Structure 1
Amino acid sequence: MFDKAVEWFERMYKTGLMPDEVTYSAVLDVYAMLGKVEEVLSLYEKGRASGWKPDPIAFSVLGKMFGEAGDYDGIRYVLQEMKSVGVEPNLVVYNTLLEAMGKAGKPGLARSLFEEMVGAGVVPNEKTLTALVKIYGKARWGRDALGLWERMRSNGWPMDFILYNTLLSMCADLGLEEEAEKLFGDMKGSDSKCMPDSWSYTAMLNIYGSGGKVEKAVSMFEEMLRLRVKLNVMGCTCLIQCLGKAKRIEDVVRVYGVSMDKGVQPDDRLCGCLLSVVSFCENDVEVGMILGCLERANPSLVAFVKLLGEEDVHLERIKEEFKQILNAVALEVRRPFCNCLIDICRKRNLHERAHELLYCGIVYGLYPGLHSKTAKEWTLNLRSLSVGAAQTAFEEWMGAVSKVMDREEPLPQLFSAHAGAGTHKFSEGLANALDSHLKKLGAPFTPSEEKAGSFVATREELTSWVQSNVQSLAVSA
């Protein structure tokens, strides 16, 4: 149908008929939907040259097109054109441009545009406010988002459950527990159109789970059951992760069973979550309980976990079986799966197997950028690894340094290990775990004064330490 619209429009031009304002705007929209950016701009310029004055709809089309492409220069062009033509933006145009600013990654300009809109007397609607909250959340501007919420309440601006849920999701991402509780309480006290739904409860489970507030998370889950709020796989995953970290294994099994009975379909993320819980288990009975849950969702993964504990299984088989596991799951969970499996091996004192899994992960491209070398510095980037995987990678790295020393090859002056500095309020901090591990080993790495979450050692310090610890650093080739 879009192609037909373009065909009839081109016929108009050939017959000498001049399109009116409505026709120009409609065809601009058609071209934009077809992704024909050059045709849109050409038609716009042709129309302007013929005396056509674009209306707000036309500018909304242009803004949306540039926004989809994340083209900030294009968005700025729209704003300049509107001023030159003397067209005052209406609510639809402002909403479109705000969404475009978000896609272009310009939170500061989005805020300025919003203030311009309010200053011009245009009252924002739910769509406006939701778009702005999403922009602030993505930029991690929690203070601005919560300040906007206060303005909504004081000005009586319209709010719906989508807007509330967007705010709750942002609080979950930033670890703003107190603020989320206030929002959730507001939703409960509002009219029926803003009452908490499944996603509202999921956001609260995420917040409590991330903060280790086990009792609050369990209470929220029980409330969902009591009020018959539909459970979803994301909420189930958040709660199980929380209970697993607290080593409440029986509660994990109960929550998983209830969720399955309520119709929750386990996905790869939930399977990864259960896999991580295995690494928290203290004995074989607990391991069996969690693997029993996982068996219902991914029996092949359970078989592989059991295979890791068999002594007579060689690397080639591990490599092949692991490849099949990875091919069967979504791309985004492959590295977390590998991290969890390494953690499980270390928990069960299968250190050689942990090193084999790390090797497989590197071979299959799960850890790009793990190592980097220059003549002056060797770097180990651990930011995408779990605690157990990071410890394993560090041991491998030191083993490699030992071999270079044995071959009497040159070493750089500086060695650095980067664990990163978490931005989430509730972040466990891989850097803290790595710091403890380095101290336990007596390794001469000290926190970097220039970069948070990084540890550095000089060549002289490290070579002396490696020589005295060569036996403990022996790892599989």
Structure 2
Amino acid sequence: MDTIFYNVMMKSLRNGKQWEVLEELAMEMIEKGIQLDNVSYSTIITCAKRCNFFDKAIEWFERMYRTGLMPDEVTYSAILDVYAKLGKTEEVLSLYDRARADGWEPDAVTFSVLGKMYGEIGDYDGIQYVLQEMRGIGIKPNLIVYNTLLEAMGKAGKPGLARSLFDEMIRSGLQPNVITLTALIKIYGKARWARDAFELWEEIKSNNWPVDFILYNTLLSMCADLGREEEAEKLFDDMKKSELCKPDSWSYTAMLNIYCNGGEVEKAHELFREMLGSGNKLNVMSFTCLIQCYGRAKRFDDVVEVFNIMVERGVRPDDRLCGCLLSVLTFSKNGEFGSVLICLEKANRRLVHFIDILDKEEATLDMVKEKFREILNESVVEVRRPYCNCLIDICCNRGLTKRAHELLYLGNLFGLYSNLNTKTEMEWSLNLRSLSVGAAFTAFEEWLRALIEGIEHNERLPTCFAIHTGVGGRKLSQGLADSLSLHLKKMGSPFQQSEERAGWFVAAREEVVLWVRSLDSKSLLATA
């Protein structure tokens, strides 16, 4: 009766996540010689897991194992989940095999834990192992297991197998829930399988499967990533007609992103006005998208107006919005520079001060280096390279060629650009995919300088030279390729767009050598 009494108390404490008090009771049982049974240990271990005291969960499980007690399915599933959360894959498999050898029959929850673990590390073979084990034991997966395995397939990058697993689930008679459908759409979007995603959407509507904000917004985000404007507009209209899933701030932001990436300035303008009157709380991403759109269209008065609205609404500028304002500066001429610069100064004074330093001839490279390091250290990682790109573009636009090359050098020094230049016996290549137009031209000048020096020093040259600009589905994705193509033609270079390799400009060694020797190498070397 003492054991039962303590077990009831510990279960109550577990429900309240009172780990410290529960562990005191457990130690009290040991001190008084009151036997801990399977329920006692299971309650202790599951409480530690719920409270994220994973080391404690393992400690008590090992204590339980030493007593000779056989854990039940709840305890095994809990401790397997603990090992999985700690990333101890080998320990999970060892414990699973040991438990199976002891006669333990795993349940659907166990396989959900195993599937999630393999999904987190993107181990496709591990996911296949889980499926084979389930089929071998004869356990029919429930909806939770299918959802977990679908998410795991997505993280492992297996959209085709995710679709097969979904079809298997439907054939088994299970009806998907919102989590299932959202996970599958995310997988299709990541794989750029737009047609499959929209076919699934039609299936959802025809079968009256459940939908919510997250599912709609996941579809809209996919449309934004893939530039599918027409489909996005239909989805957005469906949300407006819906009683339960009216567009929220994220829905509006996704649509703004689609219009901005497509250069649809007027549509973005109208949607923003609609958003202001919708009652939805505006987020910083909405303003960022719109400012970028107006900047590209060179509507600088609208940029200032949107920024002022943002400030009035109490939305705080973040690093990405500051990067957006920096990019707008790259589109503006000297006369239009001031109004946008005032906005940037309100958002980030240090950036504006750094732009002023770039203008000063007396500013040394060491001074620029130190100030640039401070800016990068205060910024989130995602904006550091865009910041450098924009600053190089600003220097190029203002004729500060030397500063542009210094910033490119610092960008390389601080690890913002990786694998720009690759040399093999067969090919020298220049990878410009992560650069803006101005930064790309600057990097090309540096590459050309190295090539000139190589020819002058009779360095052994490869048979092919190549420049990679990348390709994309959006209207603005071709901007770098088009700009570089014009630049190369203007210079009379032999580089031509490759028919076999999309997004590449290639030239043969003999043509490149003849071209380089015809250039004014001294002036090129001076600017580079």
Confirm or deny a common fold (TM above 0.5).
Answer: yes
User: Which letter does structure 2 place at the counterpart of 1:316?
Assistant: D
Match of 2:105 in 1: 53
Residues 1:282 and 2:323 are matched in the alignment: no
Residues 1:393 and 2:426 are matched in the alignment: no
Q: Which runs of 5+ in 2 are unaligned?
A: 1-47, 50-54
- Judge conservation of contact 2:118–2:126 (CA < 8 Å) in 1: yes
Match of 2:218 in 1: 166
Q: Using the alignment, how far apart are the partners of 1:254 and 1:476 within structure 2? A: 39
Residues 1:238 and 2:289 are matched in the alignment: yes
User: Which letter does structure 1 place at the counterpart of 2:408?
Assistant: L
Q: Using the alignment, how far apart are the partners of 2:471 and 2:329 within structure 1? A: 26
Deviation readout 1:303-344 (Å, 9 max, x if unpaired): 111222223333333233222222221222121111111111
Match of 2:95 in 1: 43
Match of 2:20 in 1: none
User: Which letter does structure 2 place at the counterpart of 1:66?
Assistant: Y
TM-score of the two chains, using structure 1 as the length reference:
0.94
User: Which letter does structure 2 place at the counterpart of 1:63?
Assistant: G
Q: Using the alignment, how far apart are the partners of 1:456 and 1:146 within structure 2? A: 37
- 1:294-305 counterparts in 2 under 5 A? 294-305=344-355
Instruction: For residue 42 of structure 1, report the CA deviation from its aligned partner.
Output: 2.8
- Judge conservation of contact 1:70–1:100 (CA < 8 Å) in 2: yes
Larger Rg: 2
Instruction: For residue 8 of structure 1, report the CA deviation from its aligned partner.
Output: 4.4
Match of 1:459 in 2: 509
Q: Using the alignment, how far apart are the partners of 1:19 and 1:326 within structure 2? A: 52
- Judge conservation of contact 2:261–2:293 (CA < 8 Å) in 1: yes
CA separation of 1:34 and 1:450: change in aligned 2, threshold 3 A: closer
Higher relative contact order (CA 8 A, sep 6+): 1
Residues 1:326 and 2:401 are matched in the alignment: no
- 1:352-391 counterparts in 2 under 5 A? 352-391=402-441
Residues 1:183 and 2:231 are matched in the alignment: no
Deviation readout 1:198-254 (Å, 9 max, x if unpaired): 111110110001000001111111111112211111111111111000000000001
SS at match of 1:475: helix
CA separation of 1:319 and 1:37: change in aligned 2, threshold 3 A: closer
Residues 1:248 and 2:286 are matched in the alignment: no
Q: Using the alignment, how far apart are the partners of 2:383 and 2:176 within structure 1? A: 39
Match of 1:224 in 2: 275
Match of 1:64 in 2: 116
Residues 1:139 and 2:194 are matched in the alignment: no
TM-score of the two chains, using structure 2 as the length reference:
0.86
Instruction: For residue 4 of structure 1, report the CA deviation from its aligned partner.
Output: 4.4
CA separation of 1:428 and 1:240: change in aligned 2, threshold 3 A: farther
Greater CA drift, 419-428 or 298-307 = 419-428
Instruction: For residue 182 of structure 1, report the CA deviation from its aligned partner.
Output: 0.8
Q: Using the alignment, how far apart are the partners of 1:37 and 1:463 within structure 2? A: 55
Deviation readout 1:43-94 (Å, 9 max, x if unpaired): 3223322333222112112111222222211111110111111111111110
CA separation of 1:410 and 1:383: change in aligned 2, threshold 3 A: same
Q: Using the alignment, how far apart are the partners of 1:403 and 1:88 within structure 2? A: 68
SS at match of 2:173: coil
Greater CA drift, 26-35 or 348-357 = 26-35
Match of 2:360 in 1: 310
CA separation of 1:19 and 1:403: change in aligned 2, threshold 3 A: closer
CA separation of 1:17 and 1:294: change in aligned 2, threshold 3 A: same
Q: Using the alignment, how far apart are the partners of 1:425 and 1:101 within structure 2? A: 31
Instruction: For residue 262 of structure 1, report the CA deviation from its aligned partner.
Output: 1.1
Q: Using the alignment, how far apart are the partners of 2:281 and 2:461 within structure 1? A: 59
- Judge conservation of contact 1:307–1:313 (CA < 8 Å) in 2: yes
Match of 2:44 in 1: none
SS at match of 1:473: helix
Instruction: For residue 259 of structure 1, report the CA deviation from its aligned partner.
Output: 1.0
- Judge conservation of contact 1:352–1:475 (CA < 8 Å) in 2: no
Instruction: For residue 354 of structure 1, report the CA deviation from its aligned partner.
Output: 1.6
Instruction: For residue 12 of structure 1, report the CA deviation from its aligned partner.
Output: 4.2
CA separation of 1:405 and 1:33: change in aligned 2, threshold 3 A: closer
- Judge conservation of contact 2:469–2:480 (CA < 8 Å) in 1: yes
Residues 1:25 and 2:77 are matched in the alignment: yes
Greater CA drift, 139-148 or 374-383 = 374-383
Identity %, equivalent residues: 65
